[in-house]
Structure 1
Amino acid sequence: MFRKLYRAPSMAAQCADEIRTAILTGELRAGDKLMPERELADAMGVNRVTLRNALGQLQAAGLIRAKQGSGYTVERFRDCGGPELLPAIVRVRRDDPEQRIELVADLLLARRHLAHAALSKIASMDQVELEGSVLAFQRLEDACERGDIQAIAEADIGVVAAILDATGSPVFRLALNPVAAALDELPELREFIYREPDSNVQGYRVLLGWMSVREPDGVPMLVAMLEQRDRETVALMREEMEDE
């Protein structure tokens, strides 16, 4: 009865993306004023309704502010933006090898700090629901057996999400989403993180075993394991960059 729909990005989304990129790359700096609406709409080849929709998206993201009679002014995104900007920042910087490596190192560090916080909370809990984490781990094992690297990457994030869910904290769980979305903008990263997927499986097997006993003294060891894996990932990326 229904045909499958293929939806291209809306014109408003494309407008917002163009202006967002100009802000995140520094082409438009904090304090700069955008052209008047009519001129900007003409320059971008859209009508003013479409442009206003795009500008509304950018205002909501903290990238610009509107002042009656003065038009739109660019904000300092580091002060006014939120973590949802991370994927866009990765997109505009990933073509520079040094910036790409720095971004990866920072994102992995953020994930590691989140893991440390979550494990510390789990260690203090009287009871932890393990079913979700076990099921997520089984999906990772299945993906590794198939050798599908995209499925492995998705299942890996699924295990992390399940462990964060086990803390019962919406703060921890929601903090993962922008980091995961930013890492997803770097599909080439998967070949470095999952070069030896069996080591990922073994690491999570140790982690699940710890979650059943939750000894606080085990937290530093688990975080150290994750840090070592992250260091190896960054080192492999740097090695390939130097070989190019």
Structure 2
Amino acid sequence: MEALPRETIVDVLEDRLRTDILDGRHPAGSYLPPERQLADGYGVTRTTLKHAFGRLVQAGLLETRHGVGTRVRDYARLGGADLLPMLVRHDAKWVHEIFEVRRGVGALIAERAASRATRKQCAQLHVLLEAVREADGADAVQLADVEVHRALARATGNRVYLLLTNTLFNAYLPVRSLLKGPFTDPSAAYERLAPVVAAVTAQDARQAHAAADAYLRATERIMLEGLA
């Protein structure tokens, strides 16, 4: 068994600062109080504060200028999709917005894949689809399902679609354990996804779009029930 990670004071402070920023206690564009004042307020050392700052700078929530101070970045204007996992951890309502994008992007990917997939890619899709039915346990089924969607994105011939697919999956990783509803029954998961693969390999773009939209709506409904 793998030991569980221990939460350090830096972890706690990072989480507290992140929450204060995302809740608006430190508004976008504002400068944080001087380090000494802030450290005293949180009851930590300045070294601990600097470590937490470093993580939040890397996450895209803060920017530090030597001799000027540390300012809260306007993540809604300047941030990228890499912030989504952190935002989902802070507020699960983001999942609803992610699912809306998932529907639109996923259906478009299936449509493009139907027009562009090679014979080799079609054959691989069937292999990956079969892996969904043969997977053991909800977690394994879910991961097998992800690989089918990655293969669909690759079949479009557009690498940006693959990156978008990865981004959307990574976005709800923080709550993935609550989203296993559609994957508890391998056969049912297979049956839901099979029409998408069938339409893509038949090179029927319109049907692929419709099948993917139906699949995404059905799985979204089940996953949101799990969150509720």
Name the TM tier (shorter chain).
0.7 to 0.9
Which residue number corresponds to residue 166 of structure 1?
A: 155
Match of 2:70, SS state, is: strand
Q: Provide closer, same or farther for how the CA distance between residues 59 and 222 of structure 1 changes in structure 2, counting only shifts above 3 A.
A: same
**Counterparts of 1:30 and 1:9 in 2: how far apart (Å)?**
28
Which residue number corresponds to residue 122 of structure 1?
A: 113
1:79, CA displacement in angstroms? Answer: 0.9
**Counterparts of 1:66 and 1:116 in 2: how far apart (Å)?**
41
Map 1:91-102 to 2 at 5 A: 91-94=89-92, 99=93
Aligned partner (choices 160, 169, 176) of residue 165 of structure 2 = 176
**Counterpart residue identity of residue 54, structure 1:** A
Normalising to structure 1: TM-score of the pair? Answer: 0.75
1:71, CA displacement in angstroms? Answer: 0.8
Which residue number corresponds to residue 189 of structure 1?
A: 179
Aligned partner (choices 31, 34, 40) of residue 33 of structure 1 = 31
Which residue number corresponds to residue 51 of structure 1?
A: 49
**Counterparts of 2:209 and 2:167 in 1: how far apart (Å)?**
25
Which residue number corresponds to residue 150 of structure 1?
A: 139
**Counterparts of 1:48 and 1:10 in 2: how far apart (Å)?**
15
1:172, CA displacement in angstroms? Answer: 1.5
Which residue number corresponds to residue 62 of structure 2?
A: 64
Q: Percent identity?
A: 25
Q: Provide closer, same or farther for how the CA distance between residues 39 and 190 of structure 1 changes in structure 2, counting only shifts above 3 A.
A: same
**Counterpart residue identity of residue 174, structure 1:** L
Cα deviations by residue, 1:180-209 (Å, 9 ceiling, x for unpaired): 233232222322x34665343113222222
| Aligned residues: CA RMSD | 3.0
Which residue number corresponds to residue 109 of structure 1?
A: 100
Aligned partner (choices 122, 139, 144) of residue 131 of structure 2 = 139
1:45, CA displacement in angstroms? Answer: 5.0
Aligned partner (choices 22, 25, 28) of residue 24 of structure 1 = 22
Which residue number corresponds to residue 226 of structure 1?
A: 215
Listed as ranges, the gaps of 5+ residues in structure 1 are: none
- Asked whether the equivalents of residues 112 and 226 of structure 1 are also in contact (C-alpha less than 8 Å), the reply is no
**Counterparts of 2:32 and 2:54 in 1: how far apart (Å)?**
14
Stretch moving more, 210-219 or 76-85? 210-219
Q: Provide closer, same or farther for how the CA distance between residues 177 and 71 of structure 1 changes in structure 2, counting only shifts above 3 A.
A: same
Listed as ranges, the gaps of 5+ residues in structure 2 are: none
Q: Provide closer, same or farther for how the CA distance between residues 11 and 237 of structure 1 changes in structure 2, counting only shifts above 3 A.
A: same
- Are 2:225 and 1:237 aligned? yes
**Counterparts of 1:161 and 1:10 in 2: how far apart (Å)?**
36
Cα deviations by residue, 1:66-86 (Å, 9 ceiling, x for unpaired): 234331121222112221221
1:118, CA displacement in angstroms? Answer: 1.6
Q: Provide closer, same or farther for how the CA distance between residues 50 and 232 of structure 1 changes in structure 2, counting only shifts above 3 A.
A: closer
1:164, CA displacement in angstroms? Answer: 1.6
Q: Provide closer, same or farther for how the CA distance between residues 107 and 196 of structure 1 changes in structure 2, counting only shifts above 3 A.
A: farther
- Asked whether the equivalents of residues 108 and 230 of structure 1 are also in contact (C-alpha less than 8 Å), the reply is no
**Counterparts of 2:207 and 2:213 in 1: how far apart (Å)?**
10
Equivalent residues, number: 225
